[in-house]
């Protein structure tokens, strides 16, 4: 990584752990065979994949047979929601989610609306947390699928997945959870959680880009129609030659994460405290989300009377995000923060700091100083009327 830059965008992507690199290289060197082949070389690849499935299953406490490999969380979300809703079209046409979800969820919902599905967007509180009673009130006889994310990628807010899933189970509603920001970062025990479908991706927790998985609970009511058609791989749920090296990498990523979730959480908690203590005195600064109920790797703040794009430039060499990384090219304020009731100008000024395993106290101290100086300088240069 570029030495002059201070990377604080771990919610967008993370560096690959060296042990994961080693594992992928070893897998690539072991064989080039197609895992669908029945000869000895093919069986060697099958063993590599089975080992990785065991590692990922261990992290989530599930049977390895419940895991389907995909290209990442975008594909997992699409397969879960479009595939899940179509599989149960007979059950009803009403599906429920939130405006604060990732685009990989909301855009699939919009697509399903064009196919005749009826959408309800449930509203979180101004801190981003969804009240289970509000969720329950939105459900109908014909509600067949709900999708609520675990850790929010912009604010870090953690939803009460257990309570929401319990409500879904009582009403025979298939429950999907986008856990791209949660897997390997917070404890998830799928043997104990009432979750039917769960999306994850390796590159958000120190693995390679381009590989993820969808967990599909082993229940009769729980299944998805495929989105892709081809060979018979993965019980036809997701055909295509499996990328064994990437899968081996995801397996190792999961094994490493399982051994250090608590240490990572403690480290991130310390860093977030240093960062927040360093900027909380800035006049007009406020937290987007909920510090107490949030994942400690993310701190999202808005500030009054400062323009977001200028702030981002003034913060260099910090690599941080305005709004969500995928939408930061668009100058429009974050749709997630707008959904939390933030004004356009406050949403516009939002900066997401996201810390990771390599982040140091010195880096967040520097980041806090840079933030204070940048806000002061911009206010001096171009005082903006209060919104
Ligand atoms: C990153 C992310 C995705 C997309 O994951 P990819 O593997 O990059 O496709 C989906 N949902 C959330 C919450 C994310 O943070």
- Residue 85 in contact with ligand 1 by CB distance below 6 A: no
In testing the pocket of ligand 1, which one of 79, 179, 200, 204 has its CB within 8 Å of the most ligand atoms? 204
The DSSP secondary-structure symbol of 216 reads: E
C-alpha separations of 104 from 110, 332, 361 in Å: 10, 18, 33
Question: How confident is the prediction along the chain (387 residues), in pLDDT tens digits per residue?
Answer: 555 899 999 999 999 999 999 999 999 998 899 999 999 999 999 999 999 999 999 999 999 999 999 999 999 999 999 999 999 999 999 999 999 999 999 999 999 999 999 999 999 999 999 999 999 999 999 999 999 999 999 999 999 999 999 999 999 999 999 999 999 999 999 999 999 999 999 999 999 999 999 999 999 889 999 999 999 999 999 999 999 999 999 999 999 999 999 999 999 999 999 999 999 999 999 999 999 989 999 999 999 989 888 899 999 999 999 864 455 555 677 888 888 888 888 898 999 999 999 999 999 999 999 999 999 999 998 765 544
DSSP codes joined into one string, 219-271: -TT-----S--SS-GGGGTS-S---HHHHHHHHHHHHHHHTTHHHHHHHHHHH
Do 149 and 297 lie in one domain? The reply is no
On whether residue 360 sits in a domain, the answer given is yes
pLDDT at 323: 60
In testing the pocket of ligand 1, which one of 13, 73, 209 has its CB within 8 Å of the most ligand atoms? 73
Q: How many CB atoms lie within 10 A of CB 381?
A: 9
- Residue 181 in contact with ligand 1 by CB distance below 6 A: yes
Q: How far is the centre of ligand 1, averaged over its atoms, from the C-alpha of 140 (Å)?
A: 29
Tokens encoding 308 = 């977001």
Long-range contacts of 222-227 (CB under 8 A, 24+ apart): 222/174, 222/196, 222/197, 223/84, 223/87, 224/79, 224/80, 224/83, 224/84, 224/86, 224/87, 224/197, 225/82, 225/83, 225/84, 225/86, 225/87, 226/79, 226/83, 227/75, 227/78, 227/79, 227/82, 227/83
Do 83 and 123 lie in one domain? The reply is yes
Q: Could you give phi then psi for residue 353, rounded to 5 degrees?
A: -95, 130
Do 244 and 348 lie in one domain? The reply is no
**What is the C-alpha to C-alpha distance for residues 190 and 211, in angstroms, rounded to an integer?**
20
Domain-terminating residue out of 203, 230, 258: 258
On whether residue 386 sits in a domain, the answer given is no
Do 315 and 364 lie in one domain? The reply is yes
Do 342 and 365 lie in one domain? The reply is yes
Tokens encoding 5 = 């830059």
> Nearest residue CA, atom 2 of ligand 1?
180
Instruction: Measure the CA angle with vertex 324, ends 98 and 299; round to 5°.
Output: 95
Instruction: Measure the CA angle with vertex 254, ends 130 and 296; round to 5°.
Output: 40
Q: Which domain holds residue 339?
A: 6-14+261-381
Q: What is the CATH number of the domain that holds 296?
A: 3.90.1150.10
Cβ contact 203:171 at 8 Å: no
pLDDT at 387: 41
Of ligand 1's listed atoms, the one at least distance from the Cα of 104 is 10
Domain-terminating residue out of 216, 241, 258: 258
Do 230 and 266 lie in one domain? The reply is no
- Residue 152 in contact with ligand 1 by CB distance below 6 A: no
Do 286 and 358 lie in one domain? The reply is yes
Q: How far is the centre of ligand 1, averaged over its atoms, from the C-alpha of 199 (Å)?
A: 9
Do 276 and 225 lie in one domain? The reply is no
On whether residue 387 sits in a domain, the answer given is no
Do 75 and 60 lie in one domain? The reply is yes
pLDDT at 324: 47
**Catalytic residue list:** 326
Do 254 and 265 lie in one domain? The reply is no
* Beta bridge mates, 157: 294
3 state SS of 381: helix
Domain-terminating residue out of 258, 291, 320: 258
- Rounded to 10 degrees, the C-alpha dihedral 304/128/265/104 comes to -100
Q: How far is the centre of ligand 1, averaged over its atoms, from the C-alpha of 108 (Å)?
A: 14
Count of domains for the chain: 2
Instruction: Give the residue among 256, 294, 253, 255 at the shortest CA–CA distance from 272.
Output: 294
**What is the C-alpha to C-alpha distance for residues 335 and 236, in angstroms, rounded to an integer?**
36
Of ligand 1's listed atoms, the one at least distance from the Cα of 181 is 15
Do 252 and 342 lie in one domain? The reply is no
Which residue is listed with tokens 């990989």? 104
On whether residue 253 sits in a domain, the answer given is yes
Do 170 and 53 lie in one domain? The reply is yes
């Amino acid at each position: 990584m570029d030495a002059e830059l201070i990377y604080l965008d771990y919610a967008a992507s993370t560096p690959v752990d060296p042990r994961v690199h080693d594992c992928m290289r070893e897998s690539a060197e072991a064989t080039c065979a197609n895992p669908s082949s029945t000869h000895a070389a093919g069986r060697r690849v099958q063993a590599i994949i089975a080992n990785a499935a065991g590692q990922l299953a261990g992290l989530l406490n599930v049977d390895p047979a419940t895991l389907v490999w995909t290209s990442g969380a975008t594909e997992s979300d699409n397969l879960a929601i479009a595939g899940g809703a179509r599989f149960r079209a007979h059950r009803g046409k009403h599906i429920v989610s939130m405006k604060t979800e990732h685009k990989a969820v909301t855009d699939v919902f919009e697509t399903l609306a064009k196919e005749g599905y009826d959408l309800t967007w449930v509203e979180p509180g101004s801190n981003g947390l969804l009240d289970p009673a509000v969720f329950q009130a939105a459900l109908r006889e014909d509600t067949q699928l709900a999708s609520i994310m675990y850790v929010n990628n912009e604010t870090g807010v953690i939803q009460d997945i257990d309570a929401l899933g319990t409500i879904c189970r009582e009403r025979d509603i298939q429950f999907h959870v986008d856990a791209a920001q949660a897997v390997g970062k917070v404890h998830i025990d799928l043997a104990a959680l009432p979750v039917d479908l769960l999306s994850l991706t390796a590159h958000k927790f120190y693995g390679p880009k381009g590989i993820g998985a969808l967990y599909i609970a082993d229940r009769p009511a729980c299944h998805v129609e495929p989105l892709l058609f081809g060979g018979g791989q993965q019980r036809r749920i997701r055909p295509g030659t499996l990328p064994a090296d990437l899968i081996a990498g995801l397996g190792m990523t999961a094994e490493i994460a399982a051994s250090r979730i608590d240490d990572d959480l403690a480290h991130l908690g310390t860093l977030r405290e240093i960062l927040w203590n360093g900027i909380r005195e800035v006049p007009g600064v406020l937290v987007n989300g909920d510090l107490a109920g949030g994942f400690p790797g993310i701190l999202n703040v808005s500030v009054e009377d400062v323009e977001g794009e200028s702030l981002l430039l003034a913060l260099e060499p910090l690599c941080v995000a305005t709004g969500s990384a995928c939408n930061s090219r668009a100058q429009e304020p974050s749709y997630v923060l707008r959904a939390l009731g933030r004004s356009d100008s406050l949403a516009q000024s939002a900066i997401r700091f996201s810390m990771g395993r390599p982040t140091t106290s010195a880096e967040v101290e520097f980041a806090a100083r840079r933030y204070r100086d940048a806000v002061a300088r911009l206010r001096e240069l171009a005082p903006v009327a209060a919104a």
